Structure 1
């Protein structure tokens, strides 16, 4: 009897052991299966994303949003030009378009996230100041397409970097300033001293000096793209020191520069867009940086399934930078000279300096805003 009870007990224990093993094996299998399914899903989504990149989208359901820098959408310059390009895309391509305005640096990430959460197909950030925020969001949302103006530091598969040879445009207006000044004193106001903004400076100073080697160039870094009061003060100080032509590359701050020039009755030179409409009798010309074209091109490429990450650079040769088409205040003979200067830049005969070493090799240490 004892032997029978022992046998039954052993059998029961073995049965429990087998059930426990069977249960553990089942959980592991389910877990592995789940991971395999997730892996397949991930690969499938990646494949769909690649396929999606090459397909033309339905325009009426295609959404492109832009985030301004602190200069705001009505800066009469950089951000406004970008928005005009996106509005053109909306009108001509039939897409949906929206901008989100940044008041401070702290708005950049929340503004980008707003467009991500609203499922925008392409999100364009206007200005290098948004680079860190964009990189953070692009890494967190690899399935979203992004673009940024004036920054080429982000090396991600879902970020397009839209760059410009702005030194070429500022060289042209510098040449105009050097030929136009009567006092032999001109001014330069920039919003901030960065690599991008300094390209404007090097180009302008080089143009002035090549047109008029005796010209004095007053320089001021305002450290803001949204302080019209500081812009006007900078212009007033230059007027007090006999400047009769002042170029600004300062976004919204530049509206103050233009106002100061208007009150003093001297020439102002605009930037990014044709700013003649801001003050028709004050704006001599403008250094065009066609952010509007770049934004339009990027929206169209994304809509057509031709979006590409990486750097795209706009130049004088392709019309991405230029002198403004409004020429009411320019001498016709000077315009002819400018056309010759443009041809020399495009052909490579004239090489416009963009960096400090190249500038100083020819003109010396006269740039004061580094």
Structure 2
């Protein structure tokens, strides 16, 4: 297989996600029991993390956040504590538990944890909180870490519209929240742009970026619901599908396998071809973001006393978001496509192309 190395679109695989270990199930650990210590670590600084409901074995969002924390802990020579949430009722107790254990910086993973994060930050001004995927929280001790995934999604939407032979591509989400619909908006707008410049009429099934209406499983953990939803989308003739929501991609992959049709799957959050090679023949590309590096850097700055509440936003220009390689699909896309994507990326960066979305950070 061939890998593209175009510097504007790609980061090294190691910067995205180390080889993921596929774990069965998504059992929730008791609060405070997920800690691990680096050999010889000794520090008063204690970074910690609370997952969203997907769990740290989701091979995507939560796992990438945990990697950022463990990378920072290793660099600092200290231990870390990680705790999983199985439902929204776990968020506040889990955060409180970490505060009680003396955590000095707490990463909270996802939009759904915003209210619990705000409450804990207000009550504990000496603890630094790193809020991932939400910027509605505020305070001197809260830093929002966001990524404008619509930019990378736009590139992937354009590529999907160029690749499809059925004239239909699809997307759906786990929950209808801005960090999810941001991906979907970017993807749909990229398809629209292809239609505009190439005179095509590719349809997007599952999401309307103008009305902000579409299809959602309602959570990030129900793989069967994702499979059923995927089957309904594929039955409409879609040959490229983008499930947005951590592990729910597994439901889409299962539906594709059972269809026995040449349907391409698009990953989110990281280069899923590397994260979950079980489906390496299905991965068209991924709408990725460099979560581990961003989170690790914020934690290390907090450890050195440089914590700030200034929001971080990952975009194409700073490498925070990117489009992954085509991997096994590289020989299947048009030979001119990569050059077109390079040009589009440059125009997004310089502002010539703007992406319409109400969910932009």
Q: TM-score, normalised by structure 1?
A: 0.77
- Please give the alpha-carbon distance, in whole angstroms, between the structure 2 residues aligned to 1:167 and 1:247: 13
* Equivalent residue, structure 2, for 1:260: 255
Bigger-Rg structure (1/2) = 1
Checking the alignment, whether the CA contact within 8 Å between 2:108 and 2:130 is kept in structure 1 is yes
Secondary structure at the aligned position of 2:305 is classed as coil
- Please give the alpha-carbon distance, in whole angstroms, between the structure 1 residues aligned to 2:77 and 2:329: 37
Deviations 1:199-228 (A, max 9, x none): 222111010121234011110222111111
* Equivalent residue, structure 2, for 1:308: 308
Secondary structure at the aligned position of 2:288 is classed as strand
Count the aligned residue pairs: 300
- Please give the alpha-carbon distance, in whole angstroms, between the structure 2 residues aligned to 1:326 and 1:244: 16
- Please give the alpha-carbon distance, in whole angstroms, between the structure 1 residues aligned to 2:326 and 2:242: 16
Within the candidate set 228, 237, 261, 2:232 is matched to 237
Checking the alignment, whether the CA contact within 8 Å between 2:111 and 2:177 is kept in structure 1 is no
* Equivalent residue, structure 2, for 1:203: 186
Unaligned runs of 5+ in 2: 1-40, 207-214
| More relative contact order, 1 or 2 (CA 8 Å, 6+ apart) | 2
Checking the alignment, whether the CA contact within 8 Å between 1:75 and 1:255 is kept in structure 2 is no
Q: Please tell me the root mean square deviation across aligned C-alpha atoms, in Å.
A: 1.8
* Equivalent residue, structure 1, for 2:322: 322
Secondary structure at the aligned position of 1:71 is classed as coil
Within the candidate set 35, 52, 55, 1:72 is matched to 55
Shift of 1:325: 4.2
* Equivalent residue, structure 2, for 1:17: none
Shift of 1:236: 1.1
Question: Is 1:85 equivalent to 2:68 in the alignment?
Answer: yes
- Please give the alpha-carbon distance, in whole angstroms, between the structure 2 residues aligned to 1:144 and 1:355: 32
Checking the alignment, whether the CA contact within 8 Å between 1:65 and 1:97 is kept in structure 2 is yes
- Please give the alpha-carbon distance, in whole angstroms, between the structure 2 residues aligned to 1:273 and 1:319: 13
Change (3 A) 1:262 1:341: farther
Checking the alignment, whether the CA contact within 8 Å between 1:61 and 1:96 is kept in structure 2 is no
Within the candidate set 149, 157, 180, 1:166 is matched to 149
* Equivalent residue, structure 1, for 2:346: 343
Unaligned runs of 5+ in 1: 1-57, 359-370
Shift of 1:335: 2.2
**More deviation in 330-339 or 314-323?**
330-339
Deviations 1:129-187 (A, max 9, x none): 00011111111111111111111111211111111111111111111111111100110
Equivalent positions of 1:43-122 (< 5 A) are: 60-122=43-105
Checking the alignment, whether the CA contact within 8 Å between 2:168 and 2:205 is kept in structure 1 is yes
Q: TM-score, normalised by structure 2?
A: 0.79
Within the candidate set 191, 197, 216, 2:203 is matched to 216
Secondary structure at the aligned position of 2:308 is classed as coil
